[in-house]
């Protein structure tokens, strides 16, 4: 998924001549707290609902209102993971997408970005999530997948998180599987020496931490 594919054509860009009242109405209509401000094809920054609410005169043009994140944007050829990184770093609700000539191309809703990202990872599909605490020297996704598949279970997606320097045994491998009942998978992995840090599934197994799963899914669906 590239930024160009994630542009929400339903989200308008604000213009300097638009008024504070108009901007607030559009934000309310689209249920979003930030919108992009452009002048022709030039990206001028983001306008925040919180800032606009403090403006006494609703007829005041947006050209006279403080804008934010003027230097924060993404290019249309950037991957969704890069977009997510920028959004999380700056706590954005929308991202301005520019082309190589730095012309404004459209807006990406971070909420929709997260939903698309969750779909790509298979987070919305039925199945368990398994987290392994693993030493980087022992990391072999091919071997782990083979053990999992020996229990008629498949890996839908995976994410490897390297540990801090000097702590190679603290790395984590997060796996999304296509089955809820993963008791046999857990038993097989443990038999081959893998440390199961946590497991999340509808079918009860040891070490389930449902609260952490709920928090993750709530964040992805916010």
Distance in angstroms (rounded) separating the CA atoms of residues 160 and 168:
12
Q: Where do the DSSP E strands lie in the chain?
A: 34-39, 42-48, 74-75, 94-98, 104-109, 129-134, 155-161, 171-177, 195-200
Q: What is the mean pLDDT of the chain?
A: 85
For residue 142, the Cα-to-chain-centroid distance in whole angstroms is: 26
| CATH fourth-level superfamily of 3-118 | CBS-domain (3.10.580.10)
Are the C-beta atoms of residues 36 and 104 closer than 8 Å to each other?
Answer: yes
* Eight-state DSSP code of residue 90: H
Burial of 210 from C-beta contacts in 10 A (0-12 / 13-18 / 19+): exposed
Q: Give every CB contact of residue 92 below 8 A, 6+ residues apart in sequence.
A: 34, 46, 69, 72, 86, 110
| CATH fourth-level superfamily of 122-220 | ACT domain (3.30.70.260)
List, as one string, the DSSP characters of 185-208. Answer: HHHHHHHTT-EEEEEE-SS--TTB
- Condensed to tens digits (0 to 9), the pLDDT of residues 73-126 reads 999 999 988 998 899 899 999 999 999 999 999 999 998 888 777 676 666 677
Place of tokens 């045994």: 169
- Condensed to tens digits (0 to 9), the pLDDT of residues 34-69 reads 999 999 999 999 999 999 999 999 999 999 999 999
Q: Give every CB contact of residue 148 below 8 A, 6+ residues apart in sequence.
A: 154, 155, 175, 177, 185, 188, 189
The terminus-to-terminus CA distance of the chain in angstroms comes to 20
| pLDDT in the model for residue 86 | 92
Sheet holding 74-75, edge to edge: 74-75, 94-98, 104-109
| pLDDT in the model for residue 219 | 46
Parallel/antiparallel/unpaired status of strands 171-177 and 104-109: unpaired
pLDDT at 196 over 80: yes
Cα–Cα–Cα angle for 11, 14, 18, nearest 5°? 135
Confidence band (pLDDT; 50, 70, 90) for 208? very low
**Domain segments of the chain: what residues?**
3-118, 122-220
Confidence band (pLDDT; 50, 70, 90) for 169? low
Distance in angstroms (rounded) separating the CA atoms of residues 95 and 105:
11
Neighbours of 214 (CB within 10 A): 11
Q: Which of 44-48, 132-136, 154-158, 217-221 has the lowest mean pLDDT?
A: 217-221
**Between the CA atoms of 175, 219, 70 and 51, what dihedral angle is there, to the nearest 10 degrees?**
-170
Are the C-beta atoms of residues 47 and 18 closer than 8 Å to each other?
Answer: no
| pLDDT in the model for residue 29 | 94
């Amino acid at each position: 998924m590239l930024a160009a594919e994630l542009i929400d054509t339903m989200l308008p860009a604000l213009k300097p001549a638009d008024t504070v009242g108009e901007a607030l109405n559009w934000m309310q209509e689209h249920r979003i707290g930030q919108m992009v401000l452009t002048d022709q094809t030039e990206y001028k920054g983001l306008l925040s609902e919180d800032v606009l609410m403090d403006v006494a005169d609703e007829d005041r043009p947006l050209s006279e209102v403080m804008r934010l994140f003027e230097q924060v944007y993404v290019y249309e050829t950037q991957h969704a993971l890069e977009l997510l990184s920028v959004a999380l770093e700056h706590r954005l609700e929308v991202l301005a997408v520019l082309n190589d000539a730095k012309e404004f191309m459209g807006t990406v809703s971070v909420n929709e970005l997260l939903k698309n990202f969750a779909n790509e990872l298979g987070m919305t599909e039925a199945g368990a999530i398994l987290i392994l605490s693993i030493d980087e020297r022992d990391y072999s996704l091919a071997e782990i997948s083979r053990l999992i598949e020996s229990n008629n279970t498949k890996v839908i997606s995976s994410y490897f998180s390297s540990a801090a320097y000097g702590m190679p045994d603290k790395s984590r491998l997060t796996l999304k599987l296509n089955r809820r009942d993963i008791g046999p998978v857990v038993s097989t992995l443990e038999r081959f020496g893998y440390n199961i840090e946590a497991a999340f599934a509808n079918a009860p197994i040891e070490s389930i931490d449902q609260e952490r799963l709920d928090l993750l899914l709530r964040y992805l669906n916010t």
